[in-house]
Amino acid sequence: MTGQTLSHYRIEDKLGEGGMGVVYRARDLRLDRAVAIKVLPAEAVADPERKRRFAQEARSASALNHPNIVTIYDIDSDAGVDFIAMEYVAGKTLGELIGGQGLRLGDALKYAVQIADALATAHEAGIIHRDLKPGNLMVTEKGLVKVLDFGLAKLLESAGPSDATLDQPRTEAGAMVGTVAYMSPEQAEGKKVDARTDVFSFGVVLYEMVTGRRPFAGDSRLSTLAAVLREEPKAPGEVVPGLPRELEKLIARCLRKDPERRSKNLGELKLLLEEIKEDLDSGISTTGRPAQSAPAPSRLPLLAGGVVLALVVAGLAWWVGHSRATPPTGGPVLTRLVADPGLNTDPALSPDGKLLAYASDRGGNGSLDLWVRQLAGGEPLRLTDHEADDYEPVFSPDGSQIAFRSERDGGGIYVVSALGGQARRIARQGRHPRYSPAGDQIAYSVGESAQAPILMYVVPAAGGVPRQLQPEFRSARKPVWSPDGKYLLFQGWKDRNAPGNDWWVTPVEGGQAVRTNARAVFEKAGLQGRLPSVWLTGPDRILFAASSGDTNNLWEVAISPGTFEITEPPRRLTFGTGQETSPSIAQVSSRVAFSDLNENFDLWSLPLDANGGKVTGEPVRLTEDPAPEMYPFVSADGRKVAFSRRGKGGKLDLWLKEVPGGKETSLVASPLSSQYGFISPDGSRVAYAVVENRVPSIYAVPSTGGEPERLCQDCSVPTGWSPDAKSIIYETPGNRSLVLVDLASGQKTEILKHPKIGVSRGRISPDGRWLSFHAIPGPAARRVYVVPFKGATLHDEKDWIPITDGEGMERYADWSPNGNVLYFLSERDGFRCLRGQRLDPATKHPLGAPFDVYHFHHARRSLVGAGDPIVISPTVARDKMVFSMLETTGSIWMATLDRR
């Protein structure tokens, strides 16, 4: 068909062929872009009803608007040829990358997380893939995974598996074919399937990625079917020794024959895979900032990423004591040392056990400062007072000095007297400082990025030239001194081809590092994280924090001072239900101090003179529910806020909150997730998005509650009403265009699109004359524009008025009531903050430079912690701005062993 034209697509080259059709690279003659055209088999579309169901399912999958799901542009027929036009993905199939050797473990986990995320999103919308395999997974040169062919297996399902679908796969770029080696047992038997069939196929793909082999294989399709139905695969760790035990267990749970015993939730599997990958990548940031397109500087290393709801520590802390032979006869004593509101973390006990140093924002300026207090009681003494965060304190062996990490002046290791005074920097960029037992040196590490080496240094405690240890290591993180001061224990690995990070011991004065057996011991115990904190003696043991399940607790493990081998299984010291971190122990007692952190994702209101561009107060929390709240939208008068709250099963329910007053009304609570709620200009209705029967739709519900009304079927993410409430704007999947829907006639018109870049977040100005949006010129840039609004007419690119310079991530703009100011999210200063731009009232061209509205530069309250910035959704009324924000708080506890 090369050279032939189907509709407005000119066929250029054949990419591949399989049981589900022939795939070509083509040129979209209207938009002048490369596309992939899949010509469907004639027998597959002979049944009109089956063809209709397939088209509906394929559109539903495309409407998910997920970065790891390939976008379908068109499903059409021309000259008797049925075809699909979709996003052209330049890269290789996962099957081509796997080859016969498998993938590096880090790459396998990176791809698996993306695949699981895409499938979890599809499952939440009621969409099952049914044909997941390496040939249906494209990987770009930058490592982005794209899942293809949602719905195609359903198209051929009623006809039964053809020879083509039972053959070995042909892995051409763009052409995906089926194979029974990836089918679930229930699918192979022709039984009814649900999302668990994708879980099984996902397990098969993951097994093949890490081993280079399929778990089920035979000499023929029948013997392969028999293996899927009856045989258990060889454990992946037997094929590739040294795989993480938790990964082996995860794969095994996916490959259970009985779907009732199989893992059911790919979203949970994604989280588990991320934890395994974090453990593998010892260089990954633990700052509480999830991955984002524009990197932000490291902040508080002990904070866990994402939105994690943790209870205040409840339960016992258990100190197992110095003796390993006889457990303590009495019960542990648990004392909360610091219960101030806000964030209190990083406790450090003085060597004599009389003082506690810690980081806290109790000073009221928003930043973390260092404080010291007597354990016997009394008010704490403030040691530092700086606008940048100070944290990670540690006492010198004589108790006179405290070394700490500070973010001031680009970050580094500072030292201050334990009684207060001027802090001085002794090492640039360092973190995790630890004094030697003699107090004459400080060990530390530099770097917290998985993309850059993490280096280990020692520096004279009085200041001087740092000396690097083990420079051949790719990662050498968080060094801890041995009790005799001759060695440093650290977590690290030498190169990316190593089987993962482990604990190593290096002589301080030079020599080869010795690898311990810690990794194998921890994997057997099912522990993740496990960064060393303290090396104790009598007998020698290591104190550390690690996660198991949904909690993070303190543990200890015995270590031989001669061979550095771990000699016993890890023992849990605390049993709280939160995130217990940062253990510290005094030399002269059995007291161990630790911090317990809690994270809440709520709605916040910033008092604002929106027309004047002036903040009139501090942020105020609007919601207190433990469940995360997101996608807020404030009414024009500022008295109502619509938002989504995560309910049972992870679905989102639509709520309305009155401001002031605080009354909350549940507007929509159903098995469907309700998100992107937008209040109409008169405040009477709330529009929102759902995916029902696998078709995206926009509904509206009265703001007082009542029956929802469907406004638009087969419409994706709504972004706003017209001022007269007669139209709604939504953005199409993949940010290809903005569409205006006339609610009376149902007429849909593309009003904004670009042949090369995406467009998103279309908002009509209050006077109805202008349209704001942001463009997506690349993965690390977003640019805000304004264009004259011409109603149901395509807006020309030459009319686009740039509001921001496009040098960074600036997006999600909203209008002031008078239309003369645009407010937006900005990551220009390395953090995610709120900014504004004044506009000429007549032309809407920028007046002056953008101005800062509010900064979020500290660990306690963060917009970065939300992850995807769309959930923050800053929205403006005349007297306020409303947004979602993560707040981390914490208290400090001490467990004391009763040694009677």
Torsion of CA 160, 161, 162, 165, to 10 degrees: 150
- Looking at the DSSP bridge assignments, the partners of residue 846 are 839
Per the CB < 8 A criterion, the answer to whether 698 and 680 are in contact is no
Residue 131 is a catalytic residue: yes
Per the CB < 8 A criterion, the answer to whether 463 and 403 are in contact is no
**Phi, psi of 154, rounded to the nearest 5 degrees:** -65, -35
Q: How far is CA 376 from CA 317, 319, 678, 697, 815, in A?
A: 20, 20, 54, 62, 55
Reading the block at residue 28, the tokens are: 């979209």
62/49 Cα distance (integer angstroms): 20
426/406 Cα distance (integer angstroms): 11
- Looking at the DSSP bridge assignments, the partners of residue 826 are 810, 833
Reading the block at residue 94, the tokens are: 């996962």
Reading the block at residue 829, the tokens are: 């200063």
700/710 Cα distance (integer angstroms): 6
278/305 Cα distance (integer angstroms): 11
362/892 Cα distance (integer angstroms): 13
870/652 Cα distance (integer angstroms): 15
CA end-to-end span of the chain, whole Å? 87
558/537 Cα distance (integer angstroms): 10
463/460 Cα distance (integer angstroms): 5
> Which DSSP string corresponds to 366-415?
SS-EEEEEETT--PPEE----SS-EEEEEE-TTSSEEEEEE-GGG-EEEE
Residue 575 Ramachandran class (φ > 0 left, ψ -120 to 50 alpha, else beta): alpha
Per the CB < 8 A criterion, the answer to whether 289 and 436 are in contact is no
- Looking at the DSSP bridge assignments, the partners of residue 414 are 404, 425
Per the CB < 8 A criterion, the answer to whether 4 and 13 are in contact is no
The catalytically annotated residue of 28, 82, 117, 131 is 131
Integer-rounded Cα radius of gyration of the chain: 29
446 closest CA partner among 437, 435, 438, 457: 457
- Residues serving a catalytic function are 131
